[in-house]
Amino acid sequence: MIRELHNQLVSGAVTATTLAQKYLTAIEQKDGELGAYLTVSRESALEKAASVDESLKRGEKIDLLAGIPGAIKDNICIAGERATAGSKILDNYIAPYDATVIERLKKSGAVILGKTNMDEFAMGSSTETSAYQKTKNPIDTERVPGGSSGGSAAAVAAGLAVWSLGSDTGGSIRQPAAFCGIVGLKPTYGRVSRFGLMAMASSLDQIGPLAASVEDAAIVFSRIAGLDARDATTQSWNGKPFEEYLTGDVAGLRIGVPTEYFSKELDPRIRQATDTALEHFKALGASVHEISLAHSQYALPVYYILMPSEVSSNLARFDGIKYGLNINDQKDSTQETSGLLETYLDTRRYGFGREVKRRIMLGTHTLSAGYYDAYYRKAQKVRALIKKDFADAFQKVDVIFSPTTPEAAFRFGEKTADPLKMYLSDIYTVTANLAGVPAISFPIGVIEEAGKNLPIGGQLMGKWFDEETLLRAADALERQFASQKSN
């Protein structure tokens, strides 16, 4: 889609301004119902589009992404724009600078339409913990779009953005991509700068693209990846755009299928879809091998110790003083203002939602004296074992294939009363974050539920910093599915 739009821009068949206007109008018409956007940046989007049109008029060569409208998850900072991270505590917060990914996107000429809804501070799997609004799944509006990047996924799936950025700490790009029938890439830890991303769990967070196709995701990804002096975990790369690796050729590729990911609880219809996908891979000349990621059974418990520990420390900065909301501003002149300690406590009590508070408490507990060794340190050790499972597996195979989620999109309210049920949504995705490996979700079929075709996602996990292979394999499968459809 991006390449096509780019060609239309270059040939003059369409201008960046009309393209931006078209999306802004679609947002105006449909987003009231859908709830994907928290902020729409009409003026700056049109300004950017006009500057791309100017470049074209001057006969300049423009980047593939120039003039292509996209949306940004609301936990990524854009200078001068509101950034709430889905939380009341940042209701009035205006970001003072651009995240590195935004700086890079702006440089490429990308048009940013606005900021998308999300679970509060990216904690959730349905976007229901947002302090602002529900986001509906465009495929079935009685169902959640997934989360936490639910707004970013819904916007693309509903045609209210060509591409979007999300963040993924335990599955937040891949799971909503799977629920909405689009592609989502969580890059290798350290591939994309986190500077300007509001930290949830710093050792797990990565920013990545959501888009309608693997190629589109690769194009956006190439524009945000690489070394950044402001994030010491980033690494350099040879700079060859990832979209150039999409040859459609997977002959000889070794695909590992981890037994642990195909348990009895897996919806048989999802298993069926993964079988079909593997058949396609084989037909393309890839080989399929059974492997074991033995410590995966501990991934979710380890995640729910390490992630809250990091959350409790990262969210300590929101105390009403430097960032966002201060409880005293909520009071009228007849009420007494709070003292310093009360300001901290009351601001946090009022500003944070239930799920965020739950995780801060869990994390404060696991880091406290006497429990640190029993929980945090032990979880770190198991994390190392999980990582080793991957290193061992990649001796034998090039990529690992699994479903993205154990089920398709669920209904609103279905899991909000039981956090454990909600957490299980990430059972197949958290391991990639714990190991730091790249992982992509892409559509592999649908299951019919009450007359609706609910999308399901397949997940490929790759070697550290080997997004090339991941994208090439996902793209080859996407082509195979497309050619089947047209036959």
Site map 167..206 versus ligand GLN, x via CB under 6 A = -xxxxx---------------------------x------
Among the listed residues 122, 246, 397, 460, the single contact to ligand GLN using CB under 6 A: 122
Identify residues 266-325 at the interface with ligand GLN (CB under 6 A).
307
Q: Which of 434, 392, 385, 393 is nearest to 256 (CA)?
A: 393
Q: Which is nearer to ligand GLN, 221 or 281 (CB)?
A: 221
Residues 265, 138: Cα–Cα separation, whole Å: 27
- Work out the burial of residue 124: count CB atoms within 10 Å of its CB; fewer than 13 is exposed, 13-18 middle, 19 or more buried: buried
Smallest separation (angstroms) from ligand GLN to the CB of 402: 17
Q: Which is nearer to ligand GLN, 172 or 296 (CB)?
A: 172
Q: Which region among 117-125, 136-144, 213-221, 476-484 touches ligand GLN (by CB under 6 A)?
A: 117-125
Residues 217, 186: Cα–Cα separation, whole Å: 10
Smallest separation (angstroms) from ligand GLN to the CB of 55: 36
Tokens 């090039």 -> residue: 398
Is 120 near ligand GLN (CB under 6 A)? no
Identify residues 202-231 at the interface with ligand GLN (CB under 6 A).
none
Are 258 and 266 within 8 A, CB to CB? no
Smallest separation (angstroms) from ligand GLN to the CB of 430: 7
Residues 401, 254: Cα–Cα separation, whole Å: 10
Name 428's Cβ contacts closer than 8 Å, sequence gap at least 6.
171, 261, 402, 403, 404, 405, 406, 459
**Closest-approach residue to ligand GLN (CB):** 172
Smallest separation (angstroms) from ligand GLN to the CB of 404: 12
- SS3 of the chain: helix, strand, coil, percent, to 5: 45, 15, 40
Q: Which region among 56-64, 165-173, 284-292, 374-382 touches ligand GLN (by CB under 6 A)?
A: 165-173
| Structure-token pair, residue 118 | 């999300």
Smallest separation (angstroms) from ligand GLN to the CB of 85: 11
Q: Which is nearer to ligand GLN, 125 or 480 (CB)?
A: 125
Total residues contacting ligand GLN by CB under 6 A comes to: 13
- Work out the burial of residue 327: count CB atoms within 10 Å of its CB; fewer than 13 is exposed, 13-18 middle, 19 or more buried: buried
Smallest separation (angstroms) from ligand GLN to the CB of 170: 3
Are 459 and 428 within 8 A, CB to CB? yes
Catalytic residue among 41, 125, 130, 148: 148
Are 179 and 407 within 8 A, CB to CB? no
Among the listed residues 148, 312, 404, 441, the single contact to ligand GLN using CB under 6 A: 148
Smallest separation (angstroms) from ligand GLN to the CB of 64: 28
Catalytic residue among 41, 172, 193, 441: 172
Among the listed residues 39, 41, 125, 206, the single contact to ligand GLN using CB under 6 A: 125
Q: Which region among 116-124, 156-164, 189-197, 226-234 touches ligand GLN (by CB under 6 A)?
A: 116-124
Q: How many CB atoms lie within 10 A of CB 448?
A: 10
Residues 85, 71: Cα–Cα separation, whole Å: 14
Q: Which region among 119-127, 317-325, 404-412, 459-467 touches ligand GLN (by CB under 6 A)?
A: 119-127
294 to each of 388, 392, 431, 432, 440, how far by Cα in Å? 10, 11, 11, 14, 21
Is 124 near ligand GLN (CB under 6 A)? yes
Is 243 near ligand GLN (CB under 6 A)? no
Name 401's Cβ contacts closer than 8 Å, sequence gap at least 6.
255, 256, 257, 274, 277, 278, 281, 288, 458, 459, 460, 461
Q: Which is nearer to ligand GLN, 24 or 315 (CB)?
A: 315
87 is catalytic: no
Catalytic residue among 73, 88, 415, 463: 73
**DSSP per position, 379-444:** HHHHHHHHHHHHHHHHHH-SEEEEESSSSSPPBTTTTTT-HHHHHHTTTTTHHHHHHT--EEEEEE
Q: Which region among 2-10, 118-126, 413-421, 449-457 touches ligand GLN (by CB under 6 A)?
A: 118-126
Are 449 and 409 within 8 A, CB to CB? no
Smallest separation (angstroms) from ligand GLN to the CB of 165: 13
Q: Which region among 99-107, 162-170, 239-247, 325-333 touches ligand GLN (by CB under 6 A)?
A: 162-170
Q: Which is nearer to ligand GLN, 207 or 219 (CB)?
A: 207
Residues 269, 146: Cα–Cα separation, whole Å: 19
Q: How many CB atoms lie within 10 A of CB 18?
A: 12
Smallest separation (angstroms) from ligand GLN to the CB of 123: 5
- Work out the burial of residue 238: count CB atoms within 10 Å of its CB; fewer than 13 is exposed, 13-18 middle, 19 or more buried: exposed
51 is catalytic: no
Instruction: Report the DSSP beta bridge partners of residue 460.
Output: 401, 440
Pairing of strands 183-186, 439-449: antiparallel
Q: Which is nearer to ligand GLN, 15 or 125 (CB)?
A: 125
148 is catalytic: yes
Identify residues 421-460 at the interface with ligand GLN (CB under 6 A).
426
User: Which residues carry out catalysis?
Assistant: 73, 148, 172
Which residues lie near ligand GLN (CB under 6 A)? 122-125, 148, 168-172, 200, 307, 426
